[in-house]
Structure 1
Amino acid sequence: MDIDKLETFLIVAKDGSFRAAAQKRFLSPRAVSKQMNHIEAELGVKLFEREKNRTKLTSDGNDFIVTAQDIVNSYKTAVTKIKTRNAVQEEYLKSGISSPSQATIWQTALTDFLSKNPNINVEIQQENGRRLLNLVNEMALDFCISPYYGTHEMGKIFPNLKRIDLYTGTFYIGISKLNPLSQQKSISFTQLQNLKLLYYTPFISIHLKEIFLEKFSGLLREEQVEQINTLEQRNLMVAINKGFGLFPSILVDEEELQNPLINFLPISDDCNDFYSSAIWYNQQNNNPVLKKLVDEFSNR
């Protein structure tokens, strides 16, 4: 049954006039009369007694008011729910970061996008890189900003994930200025066999360790790679020559300001020292705001 006709019926029933209903509905009296005829024909009953100057409801017409109002109310409620749900979906993004440095990159990368789209609500959570990618793969997150290390591991595990590189560069080795090797212009892993590679993650995870051992295969020993639970502790241990660290070249300027006792040197070995900070998303995710974000960064 047509909702517009039911709404017209309710106005006629209330005002007792086709003409009054016509004015409120921006219709002609004849069009209102035609709509009422259609409803009566569909129901198979007479709803109105049409008099010269007034329209009166029949007993069936009176009975139908409640039903008509229920139908109209149910329709409006359903439409409101759908519009509200779609509005939330269109204006909402769930995102993740893997470290404080990625949080800085998140802010730098998305500031312009969010300024142009101020109504988008964004949720952010921090997890280890592997966990983040799994959440994006399951579409529990719309996207994450996490490093790409130039290995093939992620493509094999998460074939539905796509990435957009935000910043690309290489790894630098951070080494204490207390170590004479820090005065070189570049450095080789073979010169660091007596030092541990210290990597930071606050999570109980060997994900980064596995990546570094794959990425620098033959240059690092498994027992040489050690996890540190806080970034400050990792940097302090490097500064006092208790180990060395790997630092993305795109963050070296900032790291130099924060860590005056560490020198940052390019890697001289012939190896895969590629690094990027990337947006990762599931290509099957239909969130329209994610599509807007992907389009924005794909066209840069």
Structure 2
Amino acid sequence: MMDIQNLQTFLAVAKLGSFTKAAEQNFISPTAVMKQINKLESELDCTLLERSSAGIRLKPEGEVFLTYAQQLIELSHEAYLACHKATNQVLTLRLGTSLLHPSRPFLSIWNRIKDKLPQYSLTIVQLPSDLVTQNREYEALGKTCDILIGTFDQATTHTLVDAVPLGSYRFSIAVRSDNPLAEKDLLAIKDLENQHLLMVPKGISHKNDLLRAQMEKELAHCQILETPGRYSLDTFNAAIDKNAALINLTPWEDIHPGLVSIPLATDITVDYGILAAKDAPSRVKEFLSTIRYQLLTQMGEYGPVTPVEEKP
């Protein structure tokens, strides 16, 4: 019997034309993607993808199977929902929210697709403010809430959560209004020379570590101040008290009225999405699977895959 997860991975590869991009979409490694595709091809006893130095392309067998794979996934979701519909059961999920984990990025998407998921409903719950561990927001998953919207990366959260990517946040620099940097419309890293930079310690965020390394390379005179762990409201107060330049992200730009956020010129971004506990119950896992599928199919109709410069 074919694994639904393998089918979803195949659809992602077919749509995105890349093992790497499909891995990012499904929050797994490229190696895991290739293993899933190999297993699927073994079960079907045929080759679905043409792999070459020019990239990845659907073979005729793959084009035929693509439609069936999509139908199998849809039937799987319909069967799950029908079982609960038979008892008029509505599956309610708790969506955690806070100033640091706003739910708005997902709610705009949810409002567009919720009619296709009539058996699910969302209730908004406030995340507790007294969690003190480095991964405090993840502690709420499965306890205070079922899902939340937050940042993630392969290096630091792969073992902690399951995630459905929704987009990327950009970095900015938050400073007091009396800091000369507050007058600028865009900051280059070199503009941070002689500043006190406030950021999370190494090892908490892979993308922050990349940005930190870039700053340490380009800045001759700057002092890095580390927070005790991930950001809290105290972090923004500390930026005010210490007159420090805080490494900030898009959703947090208006959290503190005493800080002005200026976009930072860097190609480094931070992925965000729907997060759930690794050991979440089946209703939560099915919800994530359904949302992932809806997001993928909303990207357009499946068709010929444009070759990419990638070899498995």
TM-score by length of 2: 0.46
Q: Give the TM-score of the pair, scaled to structure 1.
A: 0.47
Q: Which has the higher contact order (CA 8 A, sep 6+)?
A: 2
Larger Rg computed on CA atoms? 1
- More helix by proportion, 1 or 2? 1
